[in-house]
Amino acid sequence: MRSIAYRTVFFSFIGIFLFASLDALIVGRESKSDNDPGNPNINKYAFSMLFSKFQKVVNQPLKNSKPVDIFLCGDVMLGRGIDQVLPYPSEPVLYERYMKDARGYVEVAEHKNGPIPSPVPFAYVWGDALEELERIGPDLRIINLETSITKSNDYWKDKGINYRMNPKNIPCLTAANIDFCSLANNHVLDWGYSGLSETLETLNKSHIKSAGAGNTLAEAESPAILEINSKGRVLVFSYGTTSSGIPLSWAAIEKKPGINLLRDLSENTVRAVKEKVNESRQKGDVIVVSIHWGENWGYQVPRSHITFAHQLIDEGGVDIIHGHSSHHVMGIEVYNNRLILYGCGDFINDYEGITSYEQFRDDLALMYFASLEPGTGKLIGLKMTPMQIKNFRLNRATKADAKWIADVLNREGKTLGTRVQIHADNTMTLQW
């Protein structure tokens, strides 16, 4: 977009110069006809007029500016049962109270919805989402990766649930052309510090950027800088909170590996985030803060989350709050023309057939496609495509399921000032 802008300004300048020169010539002739030989103010007037018109052109937004389009989703869990059906399954041993073998989750899912062809191709789990990504063509694809990518056997003791995917299955992520993985969550250290190190190394080798975890505090705090051709930069900061189940001991400190943990959601924390944003921000950058926060179940957005999100936008200059941890979709807010996703819901998991929380429909997932005004980060529009997880694969949601999600978003959006409109193809658009 910069090259287009430069060409536009250049040719506009030339046009204005020629026009102003013609004006000056006419003014000069009129002056001479009034017996004013060589008025020295004519050239000053012509230049002043030229500069004024040039400023107007430069300050006007470019008509051919295209929005920054970003795909976002919630938790992508590629471990345990998912990992077992991929071409290179990890050792299936688990240390859970009720399940000791990861293949058990495959059996539960198959009992619910029928057989899963194994091994499946790397792209299998993304299912119909791949076609939708291709159709919309976002500039960036951002996920919360809730899985350690490692062969490590150093599981975190007493945690209860430990997710890992074999590093040889990394093509599962590249098959969807994922650009960024948020790592500040409660599963990236499930297989110890060696597992975290291998996760970071595997993503780096696959040219997938990440933030929120690192071998040092500085690494964990650093944002991912994503360049979009002709549209500028998007900076993604990743944070986690203990309310999502992240152990306090996982926090990165100085030279100790760990995640970028927020100790609280106070005003001091807002100022700390603002400082980090300002250290990296350049004019025109779009700023995304990806936060793993809150309980897995329940629609009530904590007041502390709302206040924190508003302060990040007002004081920190953040453009998108990408919230996740809830296993189901939560309400959406647009605050000062900035998008707040309080809980995106799970996107890929192996929970198929597991009972207890069926009323929340964690089998239903949403693809979020946000369009932002380049240079300002203001929200232009949000499109959503509903999916259903079935046979460990994303499938287009039925009309009835799409309506169920729309009803939830409309109900929860009442207090947040938003609602959704559902279309004939079962996609949705946000209204505010």
The phi-psi region of residue 325 (left if phi > 0; otherwise alpha if psi is between -120 and 50; otherwise beta) is: left
Give Rg (Cα) of the chain.
26
Say if residue 351's pLDDT is above 60.
Answer: yes
- Tell me: the pLDDT tens digits for 188-243? 999 999 999 999 999 999 999 999 999 999 999 999 999 999 999 999 999 999 99
Alpha helices in 187-302 (DSSP H): 192-205, 217-221, 267-280
| Contact (CB, 8 A) for 379 and 334 | yes
pLDDT at 146: 98
Q: What is the pTM of this model?
A: 0.86
Reference 169, options 82, 95, 107, 102; nearest CA is 82
Structural tokens at position 27: 């003014």
Sorted by sequence, the CB contacts under 8 Å of residue 224 that are 6+ apart come out as 180, 209, 210, 211, 235, 236, 238
- Tell me: the pLDDT tens digits for 302-315? 999 999 999 999 99
Burial 209-226 (b: 16+ CB within 10 A, else e): bbbbbbbebebbbbbbeb
Structural tokens at position 351: 């929970």
Of 323 and 46, the structure prediction assigns the larger pLDDT to: 323
pLDDT at 330: 98
- Tell me: the pLDDT tens digits for 50-102? 444 444 443 444 444 799 999 999 999 999 999 999 999 999 999 999 999 99
- Tell me: the pLDDT tens digits for 242-292? 999 999 999 999 999 999 999 999 999 999 999 999 999 999 999 999 999
| Contact (CB, 8 A) for 223 and 260 | no
Mean local confidence (pLDDT), 31-46: 44
pLDDT at 242: 97
Specify the range with the lowest mean pLDDT, choosing from 26-30, 111-115, 188-192, 411-415. 26-30
> Which amino acid, 419?
R
Structural tokens at position 79: 């471990």
The vertex-190 CA angle with 188 and 196, nearest 5°, equals 50
pLDDT level of residue 14 (50, 70, 90 thresholds): very low
| Contact (CB, 8 A) for 90 and 151 | yes
Distance CA 32, CA 26 (A): 10
Say if residue 46's pLDDT is above 50.
Answer: no
pLDDT at 65: 79
Judging by beta carbons within 10 Å of its beta carbon (0-12, 13-18, 19+), is residue 372 exposed, middle or buried?
buried
Say if residue 371's pLDDT is above 50.
Answer: yes
Distance CA 83, CA 89 (A): 5
Neighbours of 432 (CB within 10 A): 15
- Tell me: the pLDDT tens digits for 95-150? 999 999 999 999 999 999 999 999 999 999 999 999 999 999 999 999 999 999 99
Q: Round the average pLDDT of the chain to a whole number and report it.
A: 89
pLDDT at 362: 96
Establish how many alpha carbons lie within 13 A of residue 395's alpha carbon, considering only the half-sphere containing its beta carbon: 12
Burial 94-103 (b: 16+ CB within 10 A, else e): beeeebeebb
Task: Tell how strand 364-372 and strand 379-390 pair up.
Answer: antiparallel
Burial 344-369 (b: 16+ CB within 10 A, else e): bbbbbbbbbbeeeeeebbbbbbbbbb
